A = this chain, B = another copy of it.
Amino acid sequence: MLPEEPLALGLKRSAIRELFEYGKKRKSEIGEDKVFDFSIGNPSIPAPECINTAIKELIETADPIVLHGYSSAQGDANVRKAIADYLNKTHGTSFNADNLYMTCGAAASLCITLRAILLKGQEVITFAPYFPEYKVFTEGQGGKLTVIPVDTDGFKLDFVKFEAAINENTKAVLINSPNNPSGVVYSENCIKKLAEIMNKKSAEYGHEIYLISDEPYRELVYDKDTFVPFVTKYYNNTIVCYSYSKSLSLPGERIGYILVPDEVKDSRNVYASVCGAGRVLGYVCAPTLFQQVVAKCVGKTGDISQYKKNRDLLYGGLTELGYDCVKPDGAFYLFVKAPEADANAFCEKAKKYELLLVAGDGFGCPGYVRISYCVATETIVNSMPAFKALMEEYK
């Protein structure tokens, strides 16, 4: 007899992964260019040139025993210092190496953080629409995920429902901005309001409520006037979970970090608990070559102007065809209202036109679909007749 949770999760893959695998199969059947695969958040722009340069330089000059050897469990001290320095320069903060813990990417960052803070059965609050694996990660670490329903009018946070949902069992609030799947960026006022409510409720219940800020899309914003507030400056008990997957187009290499600022109450204990949680989950250290590589490329990104181009093409094209969606400020997703109530039925119809879209149900937002525009620009251009034909069915 096998445990229910992993077996069920293994037998029923994530809907996104399922569709991604279907796409691979379909492409091999009818050709790459005939399938419009908007399913997965796999960066479509290459890693910046500095990545290959750094890899070459490291394998040519570094002692392989050190380069490929274990680092300290929390990550190489010089790597952590380079990242802290960059954050301080960019955001006017004052972090040091000991505030950072290197991880195997955002999923590891989140699982380790949740394991580090959650007592059995404690609640984590998040806002719809949200990345579906949040539920898997939270429940996997013994917690319970509470979802605040979405206000689809602009996808802003519903603070009334949020405040009402916080209770004495609430240990953390998990946000993701720029948001997957809506592309919305939370404004400074939004973060301030969030902090105000959390401070009030922390005082009311007499314990810390952590704000976990999941930020893999931090750098992926496309308009000059889009400001992404650095959350640790607005709320003391903030833990940042970061990944280089999207900014450096390295999702397969599994490299990111957890940031525990000194402002967090009992910061050193929280950091220690992060280290302990890493051990419990089998994370010995983050991949060492890529620790050094990201330190050498700190502050760089791929050419994200291509995502802006894709966003503008797709948003413009789809709204012209009559689709209804919010213009995304960041990330690389368009969250579109399905022209019928059942988004899953809509996605099935879309498949007939070789359009692979992800139903919003898993994101806590039925009636919507996520379209990942981290694809080749010609995929967007070539998909337009398919989107048009699909819309015709509803006219």
Q: Hey, which bits of chain A sit against chain B, CB under 8 A? A: 1-3, 5-11, 13-14, 17, 21, 40, 42-47, 51-52, 55-56, 59, 63-65, 67-73, 104-105, 107-112, 115-120, 133, 136-137, 139-140, 207, 249-254, 266, 269-277, 279-290
Question: What's the dominant secondary structure at chain A's contact region?
Answer: helix
Partner of A273, one of B3, B42, B207: B3
Distance of A5 Cα from B1 Cα, bound (Å): 27
Partner of A67, one of B21, B252, B274: B252
Q: Taking A52-B64, A273-B3, A276-B7 as contacts, is the C-beta distance between A282 and B285 under 8 angstroms?
A: no
Task: Please list 18 pairs of residues, one from A and one from B, whose beta carbons are closer than 8 Å in the complex, sorted by A's number.
Answer: A6-B277, A9-B276, A10-B273, A11-B272, A13-B73, A40-B70, A42-B65, A55-B55, A70-B252, A71-B252, A104-B104, A105-B284, A108-B282, A140-B280, A254-B254, A254-B284, A254-B285, A254-B287
Name which residue of chain B comes closest to A4, CB basis: B119
Copies of this chain in the oligomer? 2
| Contact B250 A68, beta carbon cutoff 8 Å | yes
Name which residue of chain B comes closest to A289, CB basis: B253
| Contact A252 B5, beta carbon cutoff 8 Å | no
Distance of A255 Cα from B43 Cα, bound (Å): 23
Partner of A69, one of B14, B42, B279: B42
Q: Taking A251-B68, A252-B67 as contacts, is the C-beta distance between A2 and B270 under 8 angstroms?
A: yes
Name which residue of chain B comes closest to A8, CB basis: B276
Neighbouring B residues of A65 by C-beta, 8 Å: 42-46, 249
